[in-house]
């Protein structure tokens, strides 16, 4: 009478292939450190492995993964605050970092890191993951008007930043 685990071999491979890059990108945008992003990715898959999960459909599965990723990132931020660690924002990004290049284009990361967290995450979910405002609101636990404001303000800030840096104008389409 053993229940078939959600993370069987074939499903595990599908989940890792489908979601690992997304988890790493969200985590890196949130935490600004590759090692922490990798830890979050492992933690999300570990939660899937250890818990008896079932999802209504792929959208429900993806939303759960994003929500779990964000919650894991928040846990790390809280732990940092408790330990009073130096902020990564005080440390310059490395010039050659293969891991960051694999997550997102380095220049784009630098530009996105200039935005407040809610703007970064909302823009990522909207443009890179294709979520609608209503879906982002549900994932982030915010109302739709807040998410719309994050997107609007984030695009305006990105436009200003990119206009100041003439060489980077082609980084964001539609900003």
- pLDDT at residue 100, as a whole number: 45
**Confidence at residue 69, expressed as pLDDT on a 0 to 100 scale:** 96
Q: Tell me the pLDDT band of 102, cut-offs 50, 70 and 90.
A: very low
Give the torsion through C-alpha atoms of 168, 155, 151, 88, to 10 deg: 50
* Tokens read off for 145: 């008007």
Query: 105 pLDDT band (50/70/90 cuts)?
Result: low
133 has pLDDT over 60: yes
- 126 SS3 class: helix
Q: Note the pLDDT of residue 79.
A: 82
Find, among 52, 51, 56, 65, the residue nearest to 14 by Cα.
65
Tell me the Cα Rg of the chain.
Answer: 17
The mean per-residue pLDDT over the stretch 5-25 comes to 84
Number of helices followed by number of strands (H, E) in the chain:
8, 0
**What DSSP assignment string belongs to 41-72?**
HHHHHHHHHHS----SSHHHHHHHHHHHHHHH
The answer on pLDDT for 26 being more than 90 is yes
Helix (H) or strand (E) holding 140: helix 133-140
33 C-beta neighbours (distance < 10 Å), count: 17
Q: Pick the range with the lowest mean pLDDT from 58-72, 108-122, 135-149.
A: 108-122
Residue 133 near residue 139 (C-beta atoms within 8 A): no
Mean pLDDT of 73-84: 77
Task: State whether the Cα torsion 152-154-155-161 is positive or negative.
Answer: positive
Nearest C-alpha neighbor of 116 from the set 161, 82, 62, 166: 161
């Amino acid at each position: 009478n053993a229940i078939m685990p959600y993370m069987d071999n074939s499903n595990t491979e599908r989940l890792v292939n489908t979601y690992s890059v997304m988890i790493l990108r969200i985590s890196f945008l949130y935490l600004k450190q590759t090692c922490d992003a990798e830890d979050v990715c492992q933690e999300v898959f570990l939660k899937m492995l250890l818990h008896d999960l079932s999802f209504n459909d792929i959208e429900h599965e993806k939303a759960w993964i994003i929500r779990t990723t964000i919650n894991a990132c928040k846990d790390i931020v809280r732990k940092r605050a408790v330990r009073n660690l130096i902020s990564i924002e005080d440390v310059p990004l490395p010039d050659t970092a293969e891991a960051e290049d694999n997550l997102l284009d380095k220049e784009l990361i630098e530009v996105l890191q200039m935005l407040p967290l809610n703007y970064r995450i909302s823009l990522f979910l909207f443009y890179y993951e294709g979520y609608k405002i209503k879906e982002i609101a549900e994932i982030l636990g915010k109302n739709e008007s807040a998410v719309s404001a994050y997107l609007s303000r984030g695009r305006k800030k990105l436009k200003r930043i990119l206009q100041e840096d003439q060489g980077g104008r082609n980084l964001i389409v539609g900003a």
